[in-house]
Structure 1
């Protein structure tokens, strides 16, 4: 919904003009566009008068074409405009979002081929977005991208927070290093995964967060990724120039384009305050408005589920250990011997439903409910699941009726095993099955190598599949939470039923050997720039061996840190991921998870330094309740938080869930303390965070 619209447009033709400038509405950012002597497009970016992106060239190389869209251009015309609106997201971190930018569109002609291309720039107060546009024309209709050569030339050897460039996974811990050190650290940064393909020892993924020696924060990413391959970045570590690197298809091509068409937006966020990067809405604003007319069925969800016990090895997805292979429709599960560890059984699921109902959760997720888990992974198997046939011990109708009687929804799980053709073949039937049994949301998964074989998770073919599944789900009024999918690029503005993604190293890796304790202080600057993550926080028992004696992993966080994640790791889809019995051991701490909201009217970024700490305050949608979360890196730290965001003249009760003295993510993670204080808008809270720790605060108005 648009609240305010003010658009001023000035158009003029320019023949032979070789340089143009574009400033942000507040004047702090300035972009210079030019054509080099050989007709190659180039740009520079300045922040408060200082260069932050050196002269960087633009263009695309085309396959089987000696004359690519790289040089030989002339400026045929330019158009400038100003745009200002305030719109309301269906759900989000703010009730309203301002979309304010100045725009410059450069129309380019390539006389030797009679081809045309437009480069469109949009300058916001916190950054620049630009994209390639291919208008309708005779000499550029169907073409294949060999490589996109968009450059981002750095002004120095910045500190970068990066993960390896990969065509198939983003599930890596972040490495912090100088740009020139990426090559040296690359092999150590690569850890095992079900499917992975790195392309260069200096390749990294976006959103890439950097900090200059002068304290300028720079973030490189993309927005509105549709019908195009995902962009990673490859660094020339001698010249310190990043260049776009698109994900190829099975035969090495980077994209198939039919004009008229546009590329995704390439984004550069810049500020001297790290909090501005967290607060930026550039990614959302560069996407198209909401396509779904009736959004009444799209609702944020807080849920529990049969998941963590499987991840840790306490229980299994598979129903039986009898079958070395499964052929759906031919394998006799009715007469098979159960393995005794299958988590998705009717009685056990009812226990989770009871727990959800008693503690105010909206939904219950169940994984491993459907036939085929005995040989689902690593077999390059096409017909692996049908998404509608339950195991003998999972009574779909009985569970539906029981959940309904308790006022709880069930959340569907679709693991595709990356057999994407099979999923699309079954998608309508699977969604119809969901609606029949009252499932309004689905967690989909894409573990393993993609079928069709040779395709990658982040190529154009898969990018189109993910969006197809979301659009198809909208037809059935189903919300989608896609795991192992392409990272989000703000498409949830256009399709708000895309309520979550994984697409990064989530909590499950705490059961696979652990994650770095400062991981969650970097993710909001990187992965979450594109959209919310289903991080699955809320683990209270850090010693995984207590769930499964054969698993010696450790959750590298304090209990207070796990509470804070519900505020700092924004998502309209939040899971209380631990087992119910572990929450019952700490009922006073569990209260925060029960209280915390999942949809917000306002978000304030109080403190931030990537890799070190983040403190965020959020106001719950439609209430006067505030929640504050702080996550900390490896160095103990004390925050001083002013509560001047509270209403003046009102008294509030603040409940502070903090690390206790001696708390430590590794040696003493469950040491926490809870204090209550009466506070006002004039109050300041002083709270200490342990290594790998943090704090969470609920603030309710006193009646």
Structure 2
């Protein structure tokens, strides 16, 4: 029995054995992954380890839907599906459905339990075993020490034989060779524990494990009928093609947010925290106070930004879990700041410690709406056990009821839930620019995370560092931090990194009159279309993203300088007026230097760019036919 994608490129071969159901995944007629479904460990014993089929059910579907933010404004979800109605061979009364779907972008399955309403099932673990088949595969694991994690470690490049046994591996796990790239992850994580992977060296298999709190071996408690999150393998002929995929959104529930189009507005924000609220204007002391925040609001207005994020410290110490999140510190006249921002057409976003949110959100969120606050940034969760996953949903739902946008920091990975709750605009869950305050991030990391972490969804790296230096000159400082790489690489991040909320992380005077700052005034944060142009994981990347009649291009390289030839024919073969922000030879010495090239009649089939070590390029192409 088999299931194939609408275009016939992907196939799931379904085998029924004495030990259960085995899935053999093929891409372009070549097997690349075996998935053995090992059932569930529960407090009632093993369930679903030895399954037999009772019946099957097939269906095909095509759905067109709109997205309020992200890599495209419209999506087409076309798939073929089989439901395997199963029963345990060992005499258990447990009935289980396995739902399999094949899309052109990848393959997925989930479990569905048609239980009685009064039966509570306690799941200890869900046992799925993934065995990669080609011998020449490269894997990109991010190892974690425990389930208490913010997903901010570094991705490693390894062969299968180099994988570390029994270490937690975060999803998505990218696996690739010269013929294909695929990533193992999950979709629609709503009321369940987050899933991780481990390597079994003896069985030569990657197996799943569910997050749970340290004092409770039970990972999931479910009453009545339920469905697990989708177990997803995003697939394409190159790792970069996976970036274009909306598969996790396809597998998620449609929007539950009323009138979303009327108030959900992606955009860029000014930010006081990264630079330590520096102000160079005489008479303003800097720090968390009314004058400083108004100064940042003035900057946001002058740079055509949508928001001002007032970060930790506005209501008290960041780690005070008993603080009152509807009472600003005396130095900050919040009503005056909100009114001032409103006059400048700037929305206010507020940072919040999640423990304070848990205690006070039912009181605070309606008040925020009354004040005119546009959104929240919730921080420090660092977990994805079932209780915390449920909390994310509760916060996002209550925020939606009060027309508040949500940015999750100290967060677990996305899983497509932003389709269900489109006010959930972005997540952190990545080692971002903040690390430059106490450590650093390397250019090789910058060109790895688009192929790995970003496959899960939006990624708030917080770009915009304008003190750009080489690795040799970099120093970790808390106030006015610096970043490794050229200024053009920071500009490129606004195109390469997907996040419907994007920071200008530096202080206002770091941008005023600086080379490249005008690009920050025009680059969008949400897109109509995304195309991977060229790249290799950990080496370099070039993406094109479309907004209206404009194409924006972003390119970044690792520590190696390189020439890259870009094929423009995929953009429709049109003529463009263009502005390009490019590294120059001097960028190798002074990473803040760049050249702005303007021209007309740029057309295909290709053009060449050069990027300095740790460098990049950014540009905007205006369709001449639309002018």
Q: Does 1:632 align with 2:557?
A: yes
Equivalent residue for 1:444, pick from 366, 370, 378: 378
* Deviation sequence 1:148-173 (CA, Å, 0-9, x none): 11111112363111211341220112
Equivalent residue for 1:670, pick from 578, 588, 592: 592
Give the 3-state SS of the residue equivalent to 1:58 in structure 2: strand
Q: 1:640, 1:685 within 8 Å by CA — same for their partners in 2? A: yes
Q: CA deviation at 1:55?
A: 5.3
CA 1:510/1:546 → structure 2, altered by over 3 Å: closer, same or farther?
closer
* Deviation sequence 1:549-589 (CA, Å, 0-9, x none): 67797512211000000000011111111111111251x40
Matched residues in 2 for 1:487 and 1:532: separation?
A: 9
Q: 1:365, 1:412 within 8 Å by CA — same for their partners in 2? A: yes
- TM-score under structure 2 length normalisation: 0.93
Equivalent residue for 2:509, pick from 571, 578, 581: 581
Matches within 5 A, 1:312-323: none
Q: 1:115, 1:137 within 8 Å by CA — same for their partners in 2? A: no
* Deviation sequence 1:292-327 (CA, Å, 0-9, x none): 2311100111111212123xx969xxxxxxxxxxxx
* Deviation sequence 1:466-486 (CA, Å, 0-9, x none): 111000101101110111122
CA 1:59/1:341 → structure 2, altered by over 3 Å: closer, same or farther?
farther
Q: CA deviation at 1:222?
A: 0.3
Q: Does 1:61 align with 2:6?
A: no
Matched residues in 2 for 1:28 and 1:347: separation?
A: 59
Q: CA deviation at 1:651?
A: 4.5
Matched residues in 2 for 1:428 and 1:612: separation?
A: 47
Give the 3-state SS of the residue equivalent to 2:153 in structure 1: coil
Give the 3-state SS of the residue equivalent to 2:243 in structure 1: helix
CA RMSD of aligned residues (A): 2.4
Matched residues in 2 for 1:439 and 1:464: separation?
A: 24
Q: CA deviation at 1:536?
A: 0.9
Matches within 5 A, 1:85-96: 85-96=63-74
Aligned to 1:8: none
Equivalent residue for 1:257, pick from 208, 222, 227: 222
Q: CA deviation at 1:537?
A: 0.4
Matched residues in 1 for 2:108 and 2:438: separation?
A: 38
The count of residues paired between Structure 1 and Structure 2 equals: 613
Q: Does 1:685 align with 2:610?
A: no
Aligned to 2:6: 25
Matched residues in 1 for 2:239 and 2:476: separation?
A: 40
Matched residues in 2 for 1:517 and 1:239: separation?
A: 36
Aligned to 1:400: 338
- TM-score under structure 1 length normalisation: 0.83
Give the 3-state SS of the residue equivalent to 1:532 in structure 2: coil
Q: 2:575, 2:623 within 8 Å by CA — same for their partners in 1? A: yes
Aligned to 1:76: 54
Q: CA deviation at 1:496?
A: 0.3
Matched residues in 2 for 1:282 and 1:549: separation?
A: 40
Give the 3-state SS of the residue equivalent to 1:308 in structure 2: coil
CA 1:628/1:511 → structure 2, altered by over 3 Å: closer, same or farther?
same
Aligned to 2:456: 530
Q: 1:396, 1:437 within 8 Å by CA — same for their partners in 2? A: no
Aligned to 2:160: 179
Q: 1:150, 1:244 within 8 Å by CA — same for their partners in 2? A: yes
Q: Does 1:44 align with 2:8?
A: no
Q: CA deviation at 1:423?
A: 2.2
Aligned to 2:93: 114
Matched residues in 1 for 2:308 and 2:409: separation?
A: 17
Q: 1:503, 1:533 within 8 Å by CA — same for their partners in 2? A: yes
Q: 1:56, 1:151 within 8 Å by CA — same for their partners in 2? A: yes
Matched residues in 1 for 2:302 and 2:480: separation?
A: 32
CA 1:482/1:614 → structure 2, altered by over 3 Å: closer, same or farther?
same
Matched residues in 2 for 1:614 and 1:469: separation?
A: 35
Matches within 5 A, 1:291-690: 291-295=256-260, 296-310=262-276, 343-373=287-317, 376-377=318-319, 383-416=321-354, 419=355, 422-446=356-380, 457-542=383-468, 554-586=482-514, 588-620=515-547, 623-645=548-570, 651-664=575-588, 668-682=590-604, 684-690=606-612
Q: 2:22, 2:34 within 8 Å by CA — same for their partners in 1? A: no
Q: 2:467, 2:481 within 8 Å by CA — same for their partners in 1? A: no
Q: CA deviation at 1:371?
A: 3.6
Stretches of structure 1 that go unaligned for 5 or more consecutive residues are: 1-19, 184-199, 316-339, 448-455
Q: 1:42, 1:58 within 8 Å by CA — same for their partners in 2? A: no
Matched residues in 1 for 2:383 and 2:398: separation?
A: 19
Stretches of structure 2 that go unaligned for 5 or more consecutive residues are: none
CA 1:547/1:157 → structure 2, altered by over 3 Å: closer, same or farther?
closer
Q: CA deviation at 1:66?
A: 3.4
Q: CA deviation at 1:637?
A: 1.7
Q: 1:173, 1:516 within 8 Å by CA — same for their partners in 2? A: no
Give the 3-state SS of the residue equivalent to 1:515 in structure 2: coil
Q: 2:272, 2:278 within 8 Å by CA — same for their partners in 1? A: no
Aligned to 2:186: 222
Q: CA deviation at 1:136?
A: 2.8
* Deviation sequence 1:662-690 (CA, Å, 0-9, x none): 534xx542232111121344353211112
Matched residues in 1 for 2:193 and 2:595: separation?
A: 48
